[in-house]
Each structure stands twice: as structure tokens, then as C-alpha cells.
Amino acid sequence: MKGIVFTLLNELVEKQFGLAMWDAVLMDSGESGIYTAAASYPDQSILNLVMSLSARSGLPPDDLIRAFGTYMVSGFAEQYPDFFPPGISAKELLMSVQGIIHVEVKKLFPDAILPQFEYEDTSPTTLTMKYRSPRSLCVLAEGLIDGTGTFFGEKISREHSQCVKRGDRFCQFDLTFGGRT
């Protein structure tokens, strides 16, 4: 997993829980805490950090991962503003992930292992997203969807209608866009 994910998690934990919590999470997890955005780190390391944070905070891991996904959107927008041009909608951004954003991410980070998305643009206010990833971090994708709505000030209703964790071949998110919040 790319280091930017770790640096954003560090930011979030410090903002929400304080520096002492981040230090405790690092100690409990056995992780170094030294991350650079462009480097790659084992996937297990992020899970170790989340499990430590869950144990310390009392919050379920999936809730933490989802909240982290929501937070990541603003971090990505700050660090990669070209992916968030003025005048686009939340739906347009989500539909650009596979064909535009991930293509550019691969140029910046050729070794990045990215999830795959397929889309069905079913109407002006709906979108079906199919998510495939060997990491099965569909709750992170949920958070990223929610964070996209928050970033654009748009209401997105999300149904996770299929999930690999329930035996389906892929995860599917059925989205309805309800205008400005």
C-alpha cells in the first residue's frame, strides 16, 4: 500500500484522538510510524494500525476504516487538486476514478496496486459501481464514496447490494445522488 495512505491515517488519528493516541497505536501495533507518501508498505501494516486503534478507541475496525475513507478524500483533494477540477460533480468524480484518476496514479506510482471499478450510469441521479480488489477493503470504498459526497456538498445515498464478504464475486454500490446538502 502506498505511503500516502499511512500519512493520511497518521493525520486523521492525530486530529481526532491526539498525538498520544497515534504514539500508542504505533507502539501496540509494532509499526515504525515512519512513512513517506511515495513509498510502498505491506498491506498488513495498515490493518495492524487499524486494529490497534480499534482496541484503544473501542470503535469497530470497519467503522474506523469507513471514517478513514471519508477523510482520505479531502487529503487527496489537497495533495492532488488536478483530480478535483472546479465545476464537476460527485458523480463525475466517482466515474473518473478508473479511467482517469487510476491511470494518472499508475504514472506517478507504477507499483501501486489499485482496485478496479466498473460503472453503470443508470440515470442522471443514479450510478452503479462494481468494486474488485484483492484487499477486499470495500468499507474503505464506502468511506471514499461518502467523502466524495461531503467534499462536493452533495447527498449520496449508498446501498452495498453485493459484497465479496457475503460470497458475491464483487462488491456493488448502488448510488443515488440527491442534490446539494
**Domains contained in the chain, number:** 2
167 pLDDT above the threshold of 80: yes
Q: What are phi and psi of 169, to 5 degrees?
A: -75, -25
73 and 41 within one domain: no
Give dist(CA 139, CA 145) in Å, integer: 10
Inside any domain, residue 64: no
159 and 102 within one domain: yes
Residues 4-18, mean pLDDT to the nearest whole number: 96
CATH number, domain with residue 127 = 3.90.1520.10
Strands (E), 22-180: 116-123, 126-132, 154-162, 171-180
92 and 25 within one domain: no
pLDDT digits (tens, 9 = 90+) for 99-152: 999 998 889 888 888 999 999 998 999 999 999 998 999 999 999 999 999 999
74 and 15 within one domain: no
Domain enclosing residue 35, as ranges: 3-59
Q: Are 20 and 28 in contact (CB under 8 A)?
A: no
Q: Please give the grid coordinates belonging to residue 65.
A: 476504516
137 and 117 within one domain: yes
Q: Please report, rounded to a whole number, the percentage of residues in the chain having pLDDT higher than 90.
A: 85
